Amino acid sequence: MSPRSVARAEFSMTANRLRTIPSLAITSKTRKLTAIGAFAAVAIILNRVIVIPAPYLPFLSYEVWEVPIVFAFLAFGFTVAIPAATMNFLILLLFPGVILAGPLYNLVAILSMLLGIGIAQKLIELRKDTAVSGRVVLATVFGTASRVSIMTLVNASLLQLPPPLGFSAPASLVYGWLPLIAFFNGTVSLYTIPLAYVVLKAVSRRVRLPNVLR
């Protein structure tokens, strides 16, 4: 084959590859949008199905809707988890609960937990030999710490405000609530993050995911 023929063949192959880039980008974007919608839908359904009021503070409820959001983060990262959490927030605005700003509190809580998990993952990347159990523990510890600390600040600042952001609660009452709310946020993290890892491990055996537990 002459050099000119080789050049033409290489040019043709390169052109064909370039033509596939837009279609690949569209496919990737479509899959991402589909994943966001699916995780948001599951979270919204779980919001209405499993609700267990906390016996120590009636305006708090134990739920499992955060598990699919954390799963989305573990499997696909922030680009899927944050939009899914935001969609869930927008739908919850139609059903705010005792506090009108309840969906906002939920959104901040889940995002603060994801932040902690993200920090844990960065640390795990430094030691790639970390066992799966170690990853779960580290993510749970950092996710819990991040959620509890951030939500304590949020609740201390907002609960004293008038509706829709708060309860118009006096400072003395809010400060009495803070340890109980911190306990609530901590216990939610302690079961949500490990459950998300369990689901991730089960699903990754059957479906190829970007982030797979090894």
pLDDT score at 4: 53
pLDDT score at 58: 84
> Binning pLDDT at 50, 70 and 90, where does residue 212 land?
low
pTM: 0.82
Mean pLDDT of 120-149: 90
Mean pLDDT of 86-94: 90
28 pLDDT above the threshold of 80: no
pLDDT score at 125: 83
pLDDT score at 158: 92
Tell me: the pLDDT tens digits for 150-186? 999 999 999 999 988 888 889 999 999 999 999 999 9
Distances in Å between the alpha carbon of 163 and those of 57, 62, 96, 167?
A: 18, 23, 12, 6
Mean pLDDT of 62-73: 95
pLDDT score at 98: 60
- Report all structural domains of the chain as residue ranges with CATH numbers, in order of start: 3-204 (1.10.1760.20)
> Contact 101/165 with Cβ under 8 angstroms?
yes
7 pLDDT above the threshold of 50: no
- SS3 of 52, please? strand
Mean pLDDT in the chain? 84
Q: Write the secondary structure of 144-157 as one string of H (helix), E (strand) and C (coil).
A: HHHHHHHHHHHHHH
Mean pLDDT of 128-143: 88
